[in-house]
Chain A
């Protein structure tokens, strides 16, 4: 019984990894350029940015909430950092730190709305999704910051690598690793899962769930801020629509990665693997020369398959539990 539950938890990570290996092998036979260093690095760098945002989103979803505003945070941070560098208002390290700080602030606003004013998360962050993006438009107007406006070498980290591993991938691994340890090994992590799994029991156990939810939103904003900084480095050219629509990919990564959409279970490792998996799929579809339509449809199909598999597994688990109980 215990093993079944453990499997359900870890299974998603393992099966995602297995599917990725099979998929990669298949694509490699059909389109050899898939395995080229430049392609792999491009895929994993993009996946890393989404994975970082997905880690924050996963924590929020585990507490039975959702943050729709991450893409606006990424876009706004990316633009403001680039703009500060263009106008020489801040030095490069200052601008990056300010960008991450801004993400934290935006996340805290979400946290206050949800935990302090009890606005349902989907409504609160739908609001801030628009507001943060609106601020972005207001400040950027029709302008954009181009590569030439940025300090020389600013975008180099996007192609840098250490021992052959892209720098962004290492950053993502560090973020995922740290967060995984926080969730698994700390009091706070335990409280995150308790609040998501059974809020009433958590409150009865003396856990201040409002505080937990606030912190989780703040962290999600912080990671979105980091993703925004990386986004600016990766693309170089930033306008007010940067990262538009990205939240769907972030949430898809979380769900495909096995985080229960109704909270209480899932891991950030799963969410990060989900991001990588989705990036691989879209890369594969492009290499295999499939049309944009197929890309969208297969994307959606993968999400549905993952969630249906979750539902089926959960039902089986609950049945097993019920049978055990009635013995």
Chain B
């Protein structure tokens, strides 16, 4: 049973009636598109002075894009921004700051070699005579700021070496160092301890009392209920609802966050064979804890969860890029320990990484050269590369995966995202793996290509590969997987059989709520 704490009224009795609160900041019909993806689609949002407004949604719902539009990092394709009724064009992050919009970004973006005080006042250092930096008053001001935040930090020491949490606090101090009318907290609690979260909430409440509009972007629904006055839910780049938080339940929120059309993926019927890969109590500090699972031949094991839940980190350990601190990996029953990707490859484990451009492909190599790269020694044991062999091999895989190109000599960098993804999969298939780990295999590719990639994955499972599918898209995991593991902050919080899994349950587990594992249809209780 989840009972959301009714927030506001008890905490701040002085909240004035709605009509009296001026609309301070308003986003009207904001749209932003990246390539084939409509990241934000005609979203309107008003932020009132003296409220904490929560912005929630799944990965890829458009939260970050919207925040970046308000912070002046992205210019919207269409739509407008009004400050106190005045239409404004935000011309960049510095301009946003001048207009009183302060942002605490998800990932601290500080200068590690500058001192804490310098970081806080970067760009608006107090100046002394002849425009020089008034170091003394800068440090004093920084010290006062941290006192207000009730944080003990040496403002003269460099940021390098501070913990993630302390860096986050420096970010917050930086945001508060300017007189802000809007304070954006973009998933600020991800790296904070419970005590620090409390302190952050106290700060947010203080800001609210001073009349600041606080935009609180978060995955953790209990925190949304604890802190926010109103909440806006985004899904697939569109606004689903804006409501007073006290009018909603956790179940309502989850239902608004999910609930997409699931019919676009092919269902697969596979008969699982023997256990091929097994992990027991795998732990890597700061990444994941006591993770155990197994995957069978012909089975697709889905890993669901939010970004940063530790799924990619597990994949990297399975593939020998990183090493686990403790725990055991068994391949076809035999304990294995890979200390390099080459070792994993020769044992039949392949990993299609999340980031096509950074980790996956050599963009200025041809399709053929990319496909052969992991198997050069196997393909050409005698030192010399035989181009015709390589081209034939690549052409074979390109045809099976229906890669659209002018031929296997075409540079990979010139292909569309979907075709690049297919080349990437081809490259790892050419290693003839027994276990294939796919990390976000359909991110950033268009719907048609997505369906093709899904078909390919289903075919591969049917041909007897054990497949681990990491995906942040709920409908994809639900439609493709035989079993689903849900991760939250480095731990497996739920294991769901395909027949039992619903988007609500996965989202519950992924946001750290209790999963209602025994209720397949998830009629989540309402508290009213």
- Specify which chain A residues have a CB less than 8 angstroms from the CB of B346 in the assembled complex: 206
B373 touches A202 (CB 8 A): yes
A265 to B364, CA, bound (A): 8
Q: How far is the CB of B365 from chain A (nearest CB, A)?
A: 7
Q: Indicate whether A201 reaches chain B with its CB closer than 8 angstroms.
A: yes
* 8 Å CB contact of A185 from B364, B385, B409: B385
Q: Indicate whether A248 reaches chain B with its CB closer than 8 angstroms.
A: no
Q: Which of B352-403 contact A (CB under 8 A)?
A: 353, 358-365, 369, 372-374, 376-377, 380, 383-385
B383 touches A186 (CB 8 A): yes
Most chain A C-beta atoms within 10 Å of own C-beta, residue among B351, B383, B409? B383
A208 to B377, CA, bound (A): 12
Q: Indicate whether A309 reaches chain B with its CB closer than 8 angstroms.
A: no
> Nearest residue in A to B411 (C-beta to C-beta)?
A5
B410 touches A190 (CB 8 A): no
A201 touches B358 (CB 8 A): yes
Q: Indicate whether B151 reaches chain A with its CB closer than 8 angstroms.
A: no
- Contact-residue bracket for chain A: 20 to 34
Q: Indicate whether A207 reaches chain B with its CB closer than 8 angstroms.
A: yes
- Specify which chain A residues have a CB less than 8 angstroms from the CB of B35 in the assembled complex: 325-326
- Specify which chain B residues have a CB less than 8 angstroms from the CB of A264 in the assembled complex: 364
Q: Indicate whether A187 reaches chain B with its CB closer than 8 angstroms.
A: yes
| Residue interface mask A284-327, B partner, CB < 8 A = 1 | 00000000000000000000000000000000001011001111
A325 touches B415 (CB 8 A): yes
Query: Which of B101-109, B116-124, B198-206, B337-345 participates in binding chain A?
Result: B337-345
B384 touches A206 (CB 8 A): no
- Specify which chain A residues have a CB less than 8 angstroms from the CB of B321 in the assembled complex: 203-204
Q: How far is the CB of A192 from chain B (nearest CB, A)?
A: 12
A201 to B363, CA, bound (A): 10
Q: How far is the CB of B442 from chain A (nearest CB, A)?
A: 16
Q: Indicate whether A101 reaches chain B with its CB closer than 8 angstroms.
A: no
A193 to B36, CA, bound (A): 31
- Contact-residue bracket for chain B: 35 or more
- Specify which chain A residues have a CB less than 8 angstroms from the CB of B353 in the assembled complex: 204
- Specify which chain B residues have a CB less than 8 angstroms from the CB of A190 in the assembled complex: 369, 372-373, 376, 385
B342 touches A200 (CB 8 A): no
Q: How far is the CB of B488 from chain A (nearest CB, A)?
A: 27
A197 to B363, CA, bound (A): 8
B414 touches A185 (CB 8 A): no
A320 to B35, CA, bound (A): 15
Q: Which of B406-426 contact A (CB under 8 A)?
A: 406-407, 409-411, 413-417
Q: Indicate whether A191 reaches chain B with its CB closer than 8 angstroms.
A: yes
Residues of B participating in the A interface, judged by any CB pair closer than 8 Å: 35-36, 319, 321, 340-342, 345-346, 351, 353, 358-365, 369, 372-374, 376-377, 380, 383-385, 406-407, 409-411, 413-417, 427
Q: With contacts A204-B341, A206-B345, A326-B35 known, what are 12 further pairs, Cβ within 8 A?
A: A186-B383, A187-B376, A190-B372, A190-B385, A197-B364, A200-B358, A204-B321, A204-B351, A205-B373, A208-B342, A320-B414, A321-B413
